[in-house]
């Protein structure tokens, strides 16, 4: 059992909006080390969510140098989950900060309602689904590549929160996307969950019903 976890594409740091990194298939697990990452740069993120904080700059030589401690979790900003190098750098920051192995952080990965930034431009629903599928596929591939970089040789679970009937990417399409990204299997937890979730711009949010899908990467 790993006590660490990593999240991708975080929005607001408010408790109700943070990605739940404690749920596992049919259960829960306590976390001691959670690395949270946001797509936005720190300045954009602060402007969106009106958070005042002083960032700290990790002494590591990375291209992503924006990290901050928020409610006892390390947050790394400017992390594009489809870019393996970004994931690797974020994990390096976390392993240095928490003094744990990359395996500890990467064993459990969490993603909530990933959406393409371009969605509102398109009228064609099939096209939106295709874009979102692409996003999940390339994120899974990037995670796989980052795991290889760290020489991970055990299974990794990617937990995705998305409603089974979410029209932006329904369950079947989500599972296809995760598998085409390299997952050996994908299971949907039988429990239903209710979370708050925000849009990419950080100016709209909703409380929605959701499901958890667990994709397994085998090495």
Partner 1 sequence: MPTFWIIDTKVQVLPKSSLPQDGSNYYFGRSVVPEDSKEEAIAKLTAALEEDFMTVVEVTSAVDHESKIWDSKEDEDFETNESLEKSKLTGNIELGCFISELSLEG
Binding residues vs partner 1 (CB under 8 A): 113, 115, 119-120, 122-123, 125, 128, 163-168, 194, 196-201, 203-210
Strands 108-112 and 4-8: parallel
Q: Which whole-number Å values give the CA distances from 3 to 32, 103, 107, in the listed order? A: 5, 10, 9
Give least dist CB 145 to partner 1, A.
28
* CA atoms of 30 and 79, how far apart (whole Å): 25
Measured from the CB atom, the residue of 38 and 90 that comes closer to partner 1 is 38
Phi, psi of 68 (to 5 degrees): -150, 155
Measured from the CB atom, the residue of 115 and 157 that comes closer to partner 1 is 115
Measured from the CB atom, the residue of 12 and 107 that comes closer to partner 1 is 12
Give least dist CB 199 to partner 1, A.
4
Neighbours of 180 (CB within 10 A): 15
Q: What is the DSSP letter of 130?
A: H
Kindly state the tokens that stand for 165.
């009937």
Measured from the CB atom, the residue of 16 and 154 that comes closer to partner 1 is 16
């Amino acid at each position: 059992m790993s006590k660490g976890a990593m999240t991708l594409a975080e929005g607001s740091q408010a408790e109700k909006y943070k990605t739940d990194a404690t749920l596992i298939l049919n259960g829960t697990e306590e976390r001691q080390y959670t690395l949270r990452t946001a797509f936005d740069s720190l300045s954009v993120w602060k402007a969106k969510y009106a958070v005042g904080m002083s960032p700290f700059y990790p002494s590591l030589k990375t291209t992503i140098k924006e990290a901050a401690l928020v409610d006892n979790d390390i947050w790394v900003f400017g992390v594009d989950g489809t870019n393996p190098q970004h994931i690797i750098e974020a994990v390096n920051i976390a392993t240095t900060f928490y003094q744990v192995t990359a395996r500890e952080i990467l064993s459990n990965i969490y993603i909530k309602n990933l959406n393409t930034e371009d969605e509102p431009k398109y009228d064609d629903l099939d096209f939106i689904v295709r874009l979102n599928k692409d996003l999940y596929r390339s994120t899974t591939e990037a995670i796989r590549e980052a795991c290889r970089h760290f020489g991970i040789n055990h299974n990794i679970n990617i937990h995705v929160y998305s409603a089974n009937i979410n029209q932006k990417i329904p369950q079947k399409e989500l599972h296809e996307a995760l598998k085409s990204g390299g997952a050996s299997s994908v299971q949907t937890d039988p429990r239903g969950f209710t979370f708050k979730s925000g849009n990419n711009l950080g100016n709209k949010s909703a409380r929605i019903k959701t499901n958890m899908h667990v994709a397994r990467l085998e090495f």
